[in-house]
Amino acid sequence: MKIAVCSAHPYDRQFLQEANATFGHELSFFDARLNEETRQMVAGFPAICAFVNDTLNEAVLQALAQQGTQLIALRCAGFNNVDLAAAARHGIRIVRVPAYSPHSIAEHTLALILTLNRKTHRAYNRVRDGNFSLDGLLGFELRGRTIGIIGTGRIGLATAEILRGFGCRLLAHDPYPNPECLALGARYVTLDELYRESDLITLHCPLNQESFHLINAAAIGKMKRGVTIINTSRGAVIDTPAVIAALKSGRIGGLGLDVYEQEGDLFFQDLSCQVIQDDMFERLLSFPNVLITGHQGFFTAEALASIARTTLDNVRVFEQSGLCPNEVTTALVR
Ligand SMILES: NC(=O)c1ccc[n+]([C@@H]2O[C@H](COP(=O)([O-])OP(=O)(O)OC[C@H]3O[C@@H](n4cnc5c(N)ncnc54)[C@H](O)[C@@H]3O)[C@@H](O)[C@H]2O)c1
């Protein structure tokens, strides 16, 4: 099938081309993101391969349908950037990669936790500068700490497995408790109890109506003073101004982010020679106890190979049968 790959980086080309050796699709790569201004570049492609910051709203989907697109193959798990109702109205089917390597994101979550806690990023710079002072590098032991996990699907569970190995006490919150998480010894509690008890809270729920700005001033007000918050899910699960206020007051003692609500204007590009216009993002960067990575939780060789295989297979199955094993519909939003 003819597939337009949007937001294509060198690593996307590499892994999709390698996987395509066994599928034989006709791949065309576009560096640009898909949005209302760029939609014409993919005119005539029956399938479009999109990523997290491509815009798939009503206007874009309507235009794509008119241009002949039948299928959008997301090369990611999250689908909050797609207006699913509009896709259905315009007869465009959406498929995704529901599970590639939850361990990639779980392990990155641990990288954020350990770096933030033991301040290895700051120590690295100090030691290179001949500064061997330990002042300001004090951490805490994870063993025996209470960790609150919000969202215990694939990534939340993989994170729980690792944290259990560290000897943490696990609290969990999810409208659908996961038996495997229970088997690890996690206790499902209300959000209020999780906020009250947790030394560290890690977010692994999708972005939906219930989780939008879940971590806001009211929620933070219920947390332990000095709590650490880690977000590798989606940026808008956190209300950034509320978190900035809590960092300033010391209510939040550490913040590790792999995602950011306005990341669409920043991430996946080199802006190192430009003036960043996002003042909220710059304020976050100014805190010594904030660590931000640019949505790289998924970025392992294993995950990229698996994403490429599943994406191309989703298109193959659609082309051959019109069925989509990994189809996303409004029924999936819970
Ligand atoms: N940083 C990255 O690179 C990266 C990569 C992949 C996925 N993600 C994010 O991680 C999220 C989780 O991925 P997954 O594969 O574990 O998904 P999943 O569907 O396996 O699990 C999500 C879990 O969250 C629960 N949930 C839904 N709404 C909730 C709420 N309001 N409060 C608490 N729990 C809620 C669901 O019941 C489910 O158990 C994705 O939606 C995506 O946003 C990030």
Same fold, 2-100+300-332 and 102-292: yes
**CA atoms of 261 and 28, how far apart (whole Å):** 29
Give the nearest ligand 1 atom to 80 CA: 43
Q: At what angle do helices 120-128 and 102-118 cross, to 10 degrees?
A: 60
**CA atoms of 127 and 119, how far apart (whole Å):** 12
**CA atoms of 154 and 13, how far apart (whole Å):** 27
**CA atoms of 112 and 248, how far apart (whole Å):** 20
Q: What is the pLDDT of residue 329?
A: 86
Q: In 3D, which of 265, 258, 266, 268 has the Cα closest to residue 237? A: 258
ipTM over the 0.90 cut-off: yes
Pocket of ligand 1 (CB under 6 A): 77-78, 102, 105, 150-156, 173-176, 204-208, 210-211, 232-234, 258-259, 295, 297-298
Q: pTM value?
A: 0.92
Q: In 3D, which of 169, 173, 213 has the Cα closest to residue 193? A: 173
Q: Position 328: which residue type?
A: V
- The residues annotated as belonging to the active site are 234, 263, 295
Q: What is the pLDDT of residue 333?
A: 65
CB contact at 8 A, 261 and 236: yes
Query: Could you say which architecture CATH assigns to the domain 2-100+300-332?
Result: 3-Layer(aba) Sandwich (3.40)
**CA atoms of 42 and 258, how far apart (whole Å):** 30
Which CATH number describes the domain made up of 102-292?
3.40.50.720
Parse the chain into domains and list their residue ranges: 2-100+300-332, 102-292
What is the full per-residue pLDDT of the chain (334 aa) written as tens digits? Answer: 999 999 999 999 999 999 999 999 999 999 999 999 999 999 999 999 999 989 999 999 999 999 999 999 999 988 989 999 999 999 999 999 998 899 999 999 999 999 999 999 999 999 999 999 999 999 999 999 999 999 999 999 999 999 999 999 999 999 999 999 999 999 999 999 999 999 999 999 999 999 999 999 999 999 999 999 999 999 999 999 999 999 999 999 999 999 999 999 999 999 999 999 999 999 999 999 999 999 999 999 999 999 999 999 999 999 999 988 899 987 776 5
CB contact at 8 A, 93 and 142: no
Q: What is the CA radius of gyration of the chain?
A: 21
Q: In 3D, which of 288, 292, 293, 296 has the Cα closest to residue 126? A: 288
Q: How far is the CA of 43 from the centre of ligand 1 (A)?
A: 32
